[in-house]
Every structure is written in structure tokens, then in C-alpha cells.
Amino acid sequence: MADVNAFRNAMAMLAGAVNIITTDGPSGLAGFTATAVCSVTDQPPTLLVCMNRSSFAHRFFEGNEVLCVNVLGAGNKDAPALFANREFSMSERFDRVQWTRLATGSPLLDCAIVSFDCRITNTSTVGSHSIFLCEVQGVQRGAGRGGLVYFNRDYHQVGFGEPPVPPAKD
């Protein structure tokens, strides 16, 4: 089996889109920064989101059974740092960003270049994490240009050389 530190250092070389995962409902309002998000299938449209079970916010996602994957665009380094910082309460995090509610009640962050409104349809446990399988209820495009990735333990902007994709509705 691979050494944990060697694994973590190797994973730092795997670039990932920067996302803020949000939820709201009977269990309360919560959000966290994540790169462990990917598509599973398009029939039905489904995403996978991984979350550490020891996270303070974990109980909110399990209880609400809904979430929004807010994909961040270039120039949005403050929001992921805010939602990863344990020194800020959930209400302080949401007070510092602009957001609206989606059909599921999950918060859509105005700074997102695209947001996926989802219902959690299945949860599995692997090691320290929960894997949420999330059926996409709706997609909303933002007006941002360029993406934000996390690579080698830092944020990097990508995609500025391409023409902007016009915002689209579901």
C-alpha cells in the first residue's frame, strides 16, 4: 500500500476544478470547498461529490439531501479560501458572498461560472469520506470567463484564450 504522505504529494499534482458545494434545508445552511467532484453519467445527469465525514458541515449535507456544485471561475480565489477556513462560521461565509436559492433550496453562488442543483440519491462510505451520488435537477450558467483549478497546492486560472461561452438556461 502507498505511503499516505507520498499519496497526498502525488495528488497535489492532479489538477482539479475548484468548487464550492452548498446546501440548505431542515438541517441548516452549509458550504465547503472541494475539488473531488466529477460527472458519473448523463442519463440521468449525475455528479459525484466527495466529503470528509469528520467535517463539521457533513451532517448538514446528509440531513438536507440536496446540494449545489458551484464551479468557480478565474479570479475567484477569495471564495474557496473563505469556505475552506474553519475560523469562519457558516453564516459568516454566506454573509461574505452573493447568493440566491435554487429549486432544491441550495445556495447558488453568484461568482460561479456554472452551478448544478442536485438531489443526493445515494451515499457510500470509503475510508474517511462520504461519496455523494447527486442527480442533477438543473444547471445554471454564469457569465464568467475562464476557470479556476487547484494544482500543486495553489489556485491557477485557466481558459482565458478561448471565447466566452454564452450563458445558457436549462
Domain ranges of the chain: 4-153
pLDDT (0 to 100) of residue 169: 59
- Indicate whether this model's pTM tops 0.75: yes
pLDDT tens by residue, 39-59 = 999 999 999 999 999 999 999
Mean pLDDT over residues 95-99, rounded? 96
As assigned by CATH, the class of the 4-153 domain is mainly beta
Cβ neighbours around 34 below 10 Å, total:
22
Model confidence pLDDT, tens digit, residues 132-168? 999 999 999 987 778 999 989 888 888 865 555 556 5
